[in-house]
Chain A
Amino acid sequence: MGPLQSEALHAYKAVIKAMVRSNKKSKIALRLGEKKQEIAVLTYKRMNVVREMNVKNIDVLRKSRLVRDLQSLNRKVETLKNSDPSRDRKLHFIEDSGSIKKEFLSHALNERNIIHFKDVASFLTNQREYDELIERYNPGTKLSQEEIVKRTAERVGLNVPFQ
């Protein structure tokens, strides 16, 4: 492997690393949202099953099937609740690296483009750090509306009504 190739490889590595790191946080947030939604859907299904079970003079066969449904739903909710999206190993990879690789292979093997790739990597890294700092120095900008209302109420000694 020539020096140019290994330089190219290092540039590629820097780009990939910057991309993985800057994607990670938003991906985790997305997964958490999805998890919440899924749990809500399952809970709704469970409620429906319970309602059906409480109907009077229900067929025995049907009832046993409903019980089984309920159990499987419960199990699903449990596993979902215990799963931690931030531990998922897929987060260490970028999903569609094929296109980046193609782009890289068609351009990378001259010095100027390698420098260009390195610039991209450092731009991504610095942008991520800048965002992190902005967030750290302005706490509360990323809060949800509910959270803001709750904190405002607490600041003046009140509680938000229980829903």
Chain B
Amino acid sequence: MLRSIFRTVTPVVSTFRTASSSLAGRRICTRFVTPVRLYSSESVDKNEITTRVIDVIKAFDKTAASKEVSPQTAFHKDLGLDSLDTVELLVAIEEEFDIEIPDKVADELKSVGETVEYIASNPEAH
């Protein structure tokens, strides 16, 4: 049965070959094809991280919504979050960027700026 399939296939291949060779004779297109690397995007840049972090903070209903959030904003002093709320916020940020912030690092993060720094230094963030 396989042989019968091959037998039917061969003529198609030969016609294709002649078609392509006639194309090659005219030399179309080849010059315009430049290789493009389709990698997934590189780690996100800092401004974008900042805006996304701020968006997450704004979605958190325990923060004072009217407050302006900037990179200098501290979680405890400016947003009025206690340590448990801060933990909750950090979990949300982890989810947003799909990363794991180790507990020791997370204990040291006290402001928006520090968090952004950490995410920018993490190659897995996206």
Contact = CB atoms under 8 A, between A and B. Distances in A.
A1 B93 CA distance: 23
Chain B: interface secondary structure?
helix
Nearest to B101: A13
B87 A89 contact: no
Interface in B60-118: 60-62, 83-85, 87-88, 90-96, 103, 106-107
B59 A90 contact: yes
Interface residues of B, number: 22
Given A20-B95, A92-B59, A92-B96, A97 B88 contact: yes
Contacts of A76: none
Contacts, number: 54
A20 to B, nearest CB: 6
Contacts of B62: 97
B124 interface: no
A17 interface: yes
A24 B90 CA distance: 16
A93 interface: yes
Nearest to A6: B107
Contacts of B55: 89
Contact size class for A? 20 to 34
A128 to B, nearest CB: 14
Given A6-B107, A9-B107, A13-B106, A92 B95 contact: yes
Given A92-B96, A93-B61, A101-B84, A20 B91 contact: yes
B61 A17 contact: no
A73 interface: no
A25 interface: no
Contact of B92 (A1, A93, A104): A93
B59 A17 contact: no
A13 B61 contact: no
A10 interface: yes
B123 to A, nearest CB: 21
A104 B84 CA distance: 10
Contacts of A24: 95
Interface string A94-133: 1001000100110000000000000000000000000000
Given A13-B87, A101-B84, 16 more contacts: A1-B107, A9-B83, A9-B87, A13-B90, A13-B103, A13-B106, A17-B91, A17-B94, A89-B58, A89-B59, A89-B92, A92-B56, A92-B91, A92-B92, A93-B59, A104-B84
| Closest CB pairs A-B (n = 10) | A92-B92, A89-B59, A92-B95, A13-B87, A10-B103, A17-B91, A16-B91, A89-B56, A101-B84, A90-B59
Interface of B: 55-56, 58-62, 83-85, 87-88, 90-96, 103, 106-107
